[in-house]
Amino acid sequence: MTAAVLLVVLAALPGALPRLVHPGEDGFSECNGFFPHSSPPQGFSHPGTVKICQRYQGDKHYATLYSTEHRSPLYSAYTYREDAGAAWGGWMVEPQVDDSKSSLDEVSKASEVAEQVPGLGTNQALEEDYASSDYQPGPLYHRAPPTLTSSVPLTPDFKEKWASDVDHLLKEKFLPHCGNGENLHLLAGAVPSDTKVNDKVAVPEYIWLAACCDLPDAWSLAVIKRTGDIDGLEQVSVEELENQLSGGVKLFSGPCGSGALHPELRSTSEASTQTEEEPAEQTPGAFSRFFQFIFCVVYEIIKSVLCLVWFLVKQVCNIIFGRLYWIWTALTTYIFALSKVLLNIPCDVLRVFANILCGFVRVLDNALSVVCLILRLPTRFLCDMASFPYYTLCAIPDVGIDILSGVWGVFMLGFSAVFGAFGGSFSVASFAGSSVFQRFIGQSEGYEN
């Protein structure tokens, strides 16, 4: 009940609906208008698909059924607009494809949302997935805004030729017969192959374009372009394209889906019908009609039985080859793991022996260190004892010389003291004698004068 109320509230707010369409919503939600009579194609039952209402700056631009398994679109739906991709610049990504709970409900550049979306590129292709390859992101419909969710890997030459083919179809076949595109609906899709770019993005086996002019005099037309034929372009009816897509695919509903032909194909078909009906004026008899009826019934029964047998054979072959592949994978994995273990055994044995040898060397080194330590103590003591007499005897002359030097110094000190005392006494006596003599002879000047 709460979810239903929430959906009603969101539907009442333009531009607030989530871009990633949830399973509970009808079709492609607010992007249903890109399909004739708001009815999306039926029969695309691929696993891992998401419905995207591709929007930018509050405006919806087209709808896409995207395969997260192949990281490529199964189809995108457009209504003709002359300047559909003029306002955008650079490749865009859809954040909610990798994070369905993200609040980023419009396309954005990967560099701007990488930090806000953990695991960006887990379910969708990014520009770096095409690195170092011969492929480029090629839009299914180049007149639409460029998003990686509506593009597939194409070579540069094929990409350019496909854009030229689409422009020619619009100019020569679609617009002149549909009021200049006012009610022109376009479906562009791709059938993925087993080849992948960098083991991520599936390269298409072929791409296709289907047009529906939703007017009272409705018509439809389709073309197929195979990636192995750059110059080829196969023009078919929508029914023929649906048969090639298989799986009960129904691209258009209403008048466009009931065998409506393009005016050129219609005129060709009418001329062919008239040619066939002219000689048929003679009506066949009852027996002939009964025989034809029985033949058609038997033919359809045989055809149905053969189709059933072929389907059963394919299923059995898929099961058998699938099991064989699983067994082969398991066997090779086991052999690889066993070989790895067996090859590691000699390395482990050599590593053990190396560790044992290193341990033995360390033990021997420690033992020799202990022996050297033990022997070094008595050796040093004996050397000191042996050198003691040498140093003692050699010290005696030095000590004698030092004693003699001391005695001689004492003697010289005493001699200097006696000589100094005698000289001082002589100086005092001479001074006293000269003073007495001067007084005696009558000199009155002082000594200082």
Predicted TM-score (pTM) of the model is: 0.58
Question: 125 with 72: CB under 8 angstroms?
Answer: yes
Q: What is the pLDDT of residue 127?
A: 93
Q: What is the pLDDT of residue 3?
A: 39
CA dist 257 and 239 (Å) reads 8
Q: What is the pLDDT of residue 184?
A: 94
Residue 93 DSSP symbol: B
- Write down all domains in the chain, each with its CATH number in brackets: 2-282 (3.40.570.10)
Residue ranges, the chain, pLDDT below 50: 1-18, 272-283, 446-449
CA dist 321 and 145 (Å) reads 43
Q: Could you tell me the sign of the dihedral formed by the alpha carbons of 121, 122, 123, 129, in that order? A: positive
Strand ranges, E, within 180-299: 184-197, 201-213, 219-226, 234-236
Tokens 């995108």 appear where? 76
- What DSSP line would sit under 304-371, residue for residue? HHHHHHHHHHHHHHHHHHHHHHHHHHHHHHHHHHHHHHHHHHHHHHHHHHHHHHHHHHHHHHHHHHHH
User: 164: alpha, beta or left, given left = phi > 0 and alpha = psi -120 to 50?
Assistant: alpha
Encode pLDDT of 376-409 as tens digits. 777 777 787 777 777 777 778 888 888 888 888 8
Encode pLDDT of 166-190 as tens digits. 999 999 999 988 987 888 999 999 9
- In 3-state terms, what secondary structure has residue 34? helix
CA dist 61 and 30 (Å) reads 11
Q: What is the pLDDT of residue 9?
A: 35
Q: What is the pLDDT of residue 86?
A: 52
Encode pLDDT of 369-378 as tens digits. 888 888 877 7
